[in-house]
Amino acid sequence: MREFQDQLHRLKLALRLQEDRDVADALGMTKAAFSARKKRGSFPVDKLKALAADRPELGLDVKYVLTGIHDELQRRLTAISTATRIAEGVSGKKARYEVQEQVFQALVDQLDADEQRLVHCYRRADPKGKALLIATAITLGGDD
């Protein structure tokens, strides 16, 4: 049931809607049909995919709505993993660290200014500060 709630929350954010009836309407469902799905915890994936295909101007990231993972985030995580594998082949700890740092910085450079500032603050923080930043982000972002 929590998964449905999370998916619904992400969809409401993406569509800038607040009410379930508005989401149902956007998905081409009656309020009753949507409520029944909600009670069963069965998210209308087919309707979501159809909405994304029929209304490309909405820019819906279906994967994000369903999983909470943006395609862009997945791409960046894959790039980091690849860079780490490459760096493991570099001899000497300092050289490996330098390669990893260069790849990381290249990824950070793709972020907007506010995101870069958050990364910078996080990296400079002590363990307690890092934990506080994460807890604050979770609280403000509505994630658990």
Confidence (pLDDT) at 5:
93
Model's pTM, two decimal places?
A: 0.53
pLDDT at 80: 78
DSSP E strands, the chain: none
Using DSSP's 3-state secondary structure scheme, residue 126 falls into coil
Residue 73: the pLDDT is: 73
| Per-residue pLDDT tens digits for 75-129 | 777 777 777 777 676 766 667 777 777 777 777 777 778 888 888 898 899 999 9
Select the more confidently predicted residue: 81 or 35: 35
CA 84 to chain centre: 22
Let me know: does 2 contact 14? Beta carbons within 8 Å: no
Amino acid at site 138: I
User: How is residue 26 written in tokens?
Assistant: 């956007």
Whole-number Å distance between alpha carbons of 79 and 76? 5
Say what the pLDDT of residue 63 is: 87
Please provide residue 68's backbone torsions phi and psi, each rounded to the nearest 5 degrees: 85, 5
What confidence tens digit (pLDDT) does each residue in 42-55 have? 999 999 999 999 99
How many CB atoms lie under 10 A from the CB of residue 39? Answer: 10
